[in-house]
Amino acid sequence: MEPAGSFPLEASVVTSLIQLRGGSEGHGRAPLSAGPPCSWSTSGEVTSNPGDLAAEPFHRSTMSLHRPLSQLLAACRRKKRRVEVSLETATGFQSRTFCSTSSETEPLEIHKKKVLLWFSHRPREEKQFGGHFRETMDVDPLIWERKAEERAGPLSSPIQTGSSPSVTVEQLFEPTDTWSDGRGLNVLLYGAVGTGKSTLVRKVVRDWCIGKSLNQFKLLVPFSCEDLGSESKVASLRDLVSRKYLHLKQHPLLSGKGNQAKDVLFIFNGMEKMNLDFRIGATELCSDPNVPLLPDVVMVNLLRKYLLPEASILVSTRLSALDCIPQKYVSRYAQISGFSDPGRQRAYFSSRLLQQSGATPQNHSLVELLYLNLQRESQLGAACFLPSYCWLTCATLHLLHFTDTDAPVRTLSGLYTSFLRLNFGGEVLGTGAGTNVPIQERNASLMLYVVRTVGKLAFDGVTNRRRVFSEKELEQWIGGETKTNEELRQLTMFRTDVLDFFLAPIVESDLYLAEEAIGNDKRRYVFAVPAMQDYLAALYVVLGENKSALEKLTSQVSVAIGQASEDVNKVVDVISIFIPRRIFAVFNILKLFPKLYEKISSVNKGSIAKTMASELFRRYNNDVLDQVEQSLLGVHGPQQKQRSEGQPFELYPIFMGGLLHYENRVLLQQLGCSIQSNTVGQITKALGKYLVREINKPQPPEELMDLLVLLYEFQNPRVTAEVLASIRAIKLPNIRMTPLKCFVLGSVLSCTPPSYHLEEMDLSSCLLDLNMLKMLRPSFRHTRRLKLCDNPLLESGACVLLEALPENQSLTHLSLMHTGLGDQAALHVAQRLQQHKGLLELNVAYNNIGDDAALALVDACREHPSLHTVHLYLNPLSDVGKRSLYARGVPKSQGGRLVKVLASVTEGTDVSEDWHPILGVIRKNASSWDRQRVKEQLEVFLRDLHWGRQQQQSFWKRLHFRRVEKDVRKALQQLEKEAPPPPPAPSR
């Protein structure tokens, strides 16, 4: 019985429908405000004023609706639905009704949108591939369903896949015979570090949000076990869900009534970060989702099917925590095995390198070379079994080949630091429940543990110049000093989960490593990626973990005495008021010990800097960036012989310099590895001195390129400027330049003051193209002599170069020999010569410049205020054109300069004064130039010499002509002698 004056349910519906119909002007009826005021009786019937005739039509229309309305009200009573009415008083009534279905679906839609937004955020490490990320770049790893007896142990090799076919996540939640109806499935997804567990969980959640998979579940609730493990307050399951997802507060699917929970899927990612205890005496049994419990107790009751037994659960974990859930509580075991087939690896590489950077022929060839190296069963192919190393491979190639000047500065050491942060960020070696370990040691950094064990092994290999390790050495360096049960437990977990991430069995097809392992039949191990050994060894050193026992003891004693000296000095200050202070002078000795230790420490840091400099300049054939690329793409063609010095470790000093950079130190701080600021200052101070000492010695181009890479990785403008101040020339001939190397050169030179100028910059035979020239544009303003010979610049490259050179008014010599210039490029050079007032010599030899363009260029040169020599030999010039060039060497204005034109070994009827340098250039480059064209030009020289000799009357001049002819013939014979043999004739 409802009180008087209230609106019963039926009256509310009538009110709403009358408003919708009577208040609609579009149906030809007057609005409610046009009629007389109505009143509601306590029985719910509509009454009107009988004395007002104007209200009669409205009353009849209302009564005509009574019969269908009563039917609708009866249906509402039968279904017992709750109808909420919202009335707002205005000029007319406004009302909306919500049924139960809309109130349930709206939070679910909000949940999908918010979860999709949250799980679409990519890690910052994905910026290695540019500013945006495409979902099509994700490639699903292989998943194998395992039986309970097959679940233990990791995959012994990438080829081990099991007899059953791979499955999808949707297939894992198909009904099984072992679990009775009415209970949800518990699926345990496990795998080693780096196999893609977290990435797969992120993709599963994202696909459910967009309706792509797992559509049988209305609600998917993802949890991070790392987050749950940090919770110390009790909370019920519903409160726990609403705490993470406010829009799901008190949702009926989680109420536990009926079988509504069958439409719910819980996902717990990273179970190894929680301490689950399934003992009855340790964990309370509870089936009420409203009772507050600890998060681990809630999770245990869900897995026991004691709490919301109809709900399904997906748990991901590492191998060490595989047995934390009893077998009887797991309906399916699924092992994620990464990319154990080359097809998925190729799909991953193509999606990352082609979709992001464009499907150009150059990018396709890059992917093909990478795929060929993987097919040869190389060590890289074994490492790329883990998707994490596929990511590192793609990121490294992206850094080497797709460097963008507009993107943030990226370094190789920063790339490896980001890689470790992506895989071990926030990871700790937690202790077991109930251990008596101090609080400050319970959450020891996993990365620091890696440095102290695997980094120690890597440092020993670098010191002894070895990349192959035996099982005995692994026992010695990794966990050889463990004593307590807790240390043994941590070691076991580390060996199970992490060790295989860094070390892998040697692949016999790798010739160099296999030769190093000869003589021992036991199993041998190498680092999954060679550069990882250099990185971990460098990190081991800069963290100060390579101290001897005496140094560590000295450090501890120094700190203790330093603290004690402060207390003693305070006592001495008080007593000295009554007793002469000189009696206590002996206590001042305590102050000397910390200073002595600081002195010893600075000497140790100086030795680190000396090691960096000595390791950097070891005279290896390839620069360090080429070594990194060859480790990924392999060596194609004739392979180099094994060097007697052992394996190269030139990345080791470069990583040491890069780890001192501030951004890398910030990332390492997040990993629990702190590099002290005084350590950085001491190493930096000593490093500049040793680098200047080494650079003053003659260095080959490869070692000079390594120095530039070290300065770039160091990212210290002050030290870079100090080192470059002692460099007067940068000669990098025959260095295969890449976008990254060009960016390195430009970045390093940008640290110098505006007054700094190089005497010479030689970039001959560096395979420079148009894009590289644009990246090198800031570098050209720092040199007086610029050599760009033997580069395919062509006309477009010449235009870019001519636009950049006016910024350098100190340029005196420019060499563009054999750069593919044509007549149009020569005319562009002639037009822009006046912009370079200080230019003295121009070399455009061995290009496709004809007579007309050459004459125009010489005309521009003789009008130049300072240019005195132009090289035009080895160009297709006629005899008439050569004579015209020599004739135009004299300027139009009387008393002007003479412009020397070098078009042949002769100048008219005389031998050129520069015939010997011209022949020297031809001999030096004959092996790399077009032999047929060089041969034709030498024969032209012989004809010019023969014609000039016939014009001479003097015996001595004729003798000089014959001497030059003899040298030209020797060069021609040497060219024919070095020519490759003709291919054999096909046999019949």
State the pLDDT confidence band at 204, using cuts at 50, 70 and 90.
very high
Helices in 911-980 by DSSP H: which ranges? 915-925, 931-951, 955-977
Is residue 39 packed enough to be buried (19+ CB in 10 Å), middle (13-18) or exposed (0-12)? exposed
Question: Is residue 300 scored above 90 in pLDDT?
Answer: yes
pLDDT at 44: 36
Going from the C-alpha of 355 to that of each of 128, 138, 347, the distances in angstroms are 14, 12, 11
Burial 642-652 (b: 16+ CB within 10 A, else e): eeeeebbbbbb
Q: What is the DSSP letter of 293?
A: B
What is the average pLDDT across 797-818? Answer: 85
- Quote the pLDDT of residue 980: 63
| Full 3-state SS string of 834-879 | HHCCCCCEEECCCCCCCHHHHHHHHHHHHCCCCCCEEECCCCCCCH
Q: State the average pLDDT over residues 532-542.
A: 92
Over range 699-718, report the average pLDDT. Answer: 90
Mean pLDDT of 49-54: 34
Dump pLDDT digits (tens) for 408-447: 788 999 999 999 988 887 677 654 443 344 434 446 788 9
For 669-673, 683-687, 743-747, 861-865, which range has the lowest pLDDT when averaged over its residues?
Answer: 683-687
pLDDT for residue 438: 42
Minimal CA–CA distance to 646: which of 510, 507, 512?
Answer: 512
Q: Which residue is listed with tokens 């795929």?
A: 371
What residues contact 791, with CB distance under 8 A and at least 6 apart? 763, 764, 765, 766, 767, 768, 797, 819
Local structure of 267: helix, strand or coil: strand
Query: Per-residue pLDDT averaged across 482-494, rounded?
Result: 79
Alpha helices, DSSP H, located in 129-271? 169-172, 197-209, 225-229, 237-244
What is the mean predicted confidence (pLDDT) over 825-831?
90
Sign of CA dihedral 745, 747, 752, 753: positive
Share in percent of the chain as helix, strand, coil (round to 5):
55, 10, 40
pLDDT reported for residue 268 = 95
Residue 77 is predicted with a pLDDT of 46
Least confident of 58-72, 362-376, 731-745, 862-876: 58-72
Query: How confident is the model at residue 897, as a pLDDT?
Result: 56
Number of H helices, E strands in the chain: 39, 24
pLDDT in tens, 254-281: 988 888 899 999 999 999 888 898 988 8
Is the distance from CB of 789 to CB of 816 less than 8 angstroms? yes
**Confidence category of residue 712, pLDDT binned at 50, 70, 90:** very high
Contact 293, 140 (CB under 8 A): no
Tell me the one-letter amino acid at 612. M
- What does the alpha-carbon distance between residue 509 and residue 487 come to, in Å, rounded to a whole number? 37
Q: What is the pLDDT of residue 582?
A: 53
- Confidence tier at 29 by pLDDT (50, 70, 90): very low
- Sorting pLDDT into bands at 50, 70 and 90, what band is 988? very low
Instruction: Quote the mean pLDDT of the chain.
Output: 75
3-class secondary-structure state, position 699: coil
Residue 547's pLDDT band (cuts 50, 70, 90): low
User: With helix as H, strand as E and coil as C, how does 58-82 read?
Assistant: HHHHHHHCHHHHHHHHHHHHHHCCC
Is pLDDT above 60 for 857?
Answer: yes
pLDDT-derived band at 557, boundaries 50, 70, 90: very low
- Confidence at 615, pLDDT banded by 50, 70, 90: low
Q: Among the ranges 584-593, 595-604, 727-736, which has the highest mean pLDDT value? A: 727-736
**Which of 118-132, 211-225, 481-495, 664-678 shows the highest mean pLDDT?**
211-225
Between 58 and 570, the higher pLDDT residue: 570
Q: Is the pLDDT of residue 88 over 90?
A: no
What torsion, rounded to 10 degrees, do the Cα atoms 947, 950, 955, 959 define?
Answer: 30
Q: What average pLDDT does the segment 629-653 reach?
A: 66
pLDDT at 238 over 90: yes
Of the chain, the percentage scoring pLDDT greater than 90 comes to: 19
Query: How far apart are alpha carbons 653 and 655 in whole angstroms?
Result: 5
**Quick one: pLDDT at residue 445?**
82
Helix, coil or strand: residue 906: strand
**Cα–Cα distance measured from residue 619 to residue 621, given in angstroms and rounded to the nearest whole number:** 7
Least confident of 608-622, 665-679, 853-867, 960-974: 608-622
pLDDT-derived band at 689, boundaries 50, 70, 90: confident
What are the pLDDT digits (tens) for 154-176? 444 444 444 567 888 999 998 87
**pLDDT band at 536; cut points 50, 70, 90:** very high
Mean pLDDT of 383-403: 87
pLDDT of residue 16: 38
| Whether the predicted pLDDT of 42 surpasses 60 | no
Gap between the Cα atoms of 774 and 778, Å rounded: 8
**Measured distance CA(437)–CA(441) in Å, rounded:** 7
Dig out the tokens for 105 from the structure.
């679906």
Residue 166: Cβ within 10 Å count: 17
Question: What local confidence, expressed as pLDDT, does residue 904 receive?
Answer: 78
